[in-house]
Structures are given as structure tokens and as C-alpha cells.
Amino acid sequence: MKPVAIFRHAPTEGPGYFATYLDRHNLPWRLIALDAGEPVPATSNEFSGVVFMGGPMSVNGDLPWIAPVLKLIRDSVAADVPVLGHCLGGQLLSKALDGTVSRNPIKEIGWGDVDVVDTPLAREWFGHAAPAFTSFHWHGETFTLPPGAVRVLTNAVCENQAFALGKHLGMQCHIEMTPEIIDSWCESGAREIERSRSPAVQSVAGIKQGSAQSLPKLHAVADGVYDRWVAGLAR
């Protein structure tokens, strides 16, 4: 089986629990560290699926890897190679498919509930977590639904928390969290949290306090989502 390509955009935003899932199911994967200067592959021919993690940058910026990543996503969708996006990755998927990314009305950081939309497609991806579950968030921007995509997750803070389009899924929320990633983000992002005035931004103490209870449940949600996504991989 061809490996799953996992694109990392920042050193602290690796594959996390997604890598744990792939290893548990003996699914090969390859990390492509764009933050370390690795080039974007010209095509997805050598991969069974492509996955994009998060990052603090904006997809509307002028980083040299953004344009080739958007092209790779479009080519992957056209070739029926499943694409999965986490937070920034979901924004990249939206923009590549003619959606837009702009500032969310308020910043969202920490643990917060998301609602599973009451539609067949949403239940196909997140029915095991319906009607709602607690996910992790860290974003100031959000995406629109690209043409043909269907909203599958939402909440009061950010209307588009996830969309599905065939084998492809873009999420604004983070289901890939681990204790190590949470600790790293709380350390590197402590100043951002302190400066935020958004009612949807938790304190570092609040985030860490909620992790013990919320992480195991989030991993169960992630298992179901990843089960659905890997079902589309070419074997």
C-alpha cells in the first residue's frame, strides 16, 4: 500500500493522534515537513491519501509552499486521492476548491463543544459523536464551504467547523490532539492567550484542566472519523 502523506507546516503541529491511529492500523505514512524546507511533491501519485495539519500562518499569506500545496490538493481531488485537513489544513482544502478564508468573528482557543449537523452525510462522518462532542480549537480565521461541499460540524462561535466533499474532509477544529501537543501549544501560545479578549479563549490553566477528561473522549471521536477517511484509501 502506498503511504499516506502528512504535511507539517510548523514544528509544533505534527500529526499527533493521527499518527498513533495509522500506526495502530499498520497503515504506512510519510511526514513531509514543509517547515523544514521539504519540497511539495508535484503529484499525489505515490500516496494513498494526503493529510494537512495545522499551523499559525494564514493560507492567504505569501509563503512559498502555499501555491504548490493548493495545486496538489486540487490534483488529489481530481485523481480521487482522499484529502484530510486539520484546522489550517481544512482552510487549505477550502481555498484550493474555490472557498474563501477570512477572519472569524471571534478567536477560539481551548476546549469547546461542536454540534454534528443533522444530515445523512454528517452522520456518516460524525454519527458516532452525535449530537455533539467537545473538541479542541485554536484559530482566528475560518473557511467557507467550497462548491459542492456540505457542512457537517458547527457551533455558535464558528459556523463552519467541518465540511465533507466525497472522500475529502476539512475541519476547523482539532481532533488530533495529544497531551504533548497541548503542553507545547500552551507554552508557545501563552502570550496570545493572555492578550486575547475573546469569550471563546480559555486560560492555560483551563485548557490543561479540561484535557484529562476531554482527550480520551476526543480520541474516540477521532477514531471514528479516521475510520471513515481511511476507508477511501486505495489498498
CATH code, domain carrying 81: 3.40.50.880
* 205 lies in some domain: yes
Tens digits of per-residue pLDDT, 175-199?
999 999 999 999 999 999 999 989 9
Measured between alpha carbons, how far is 167 from 181 in angstroms, rounded to an integer? 27
- For residue 29, is it within any domain? yes
Lookup: cell for 49: 491519501
Give the model's confidence band at 234: pLDDT under 50 very low, under 70 low, under 90 confident, else very high.
confident
State the average pLDDT for the chain: 97
pLDDT tens for 156-168 read 999 999 999 999 9
Domain presence at residue 235? no
The residue-averaged pLDDT of 69-85 equals 98
Q: Does residue 107 lie within any of the structural domains?
A: yes
The verdict on residue 216 lying in a domain is: yes
Q: Which residue has the cell 490538493?
A: 73
Domain that holds residue 223: 4-230
Q: Which residues partner with 143 through β-bridges?
A: 101
Residue 118 lies in a domain: yes
Is 186 part of any domain? Answer: yes
Domain contains 9 = yes
| Closest to 53 measured CA to CA, from 2, 100, 19, 99 | 19
pLDDT grade for 10, boundaries at 50, 70 and 90 = very high
Domains held by the chain: number: 1
pLDDT at residue 235 tops 90 = no
Q: How many CB atoms lie within 10 A of CB 123?
A: 16
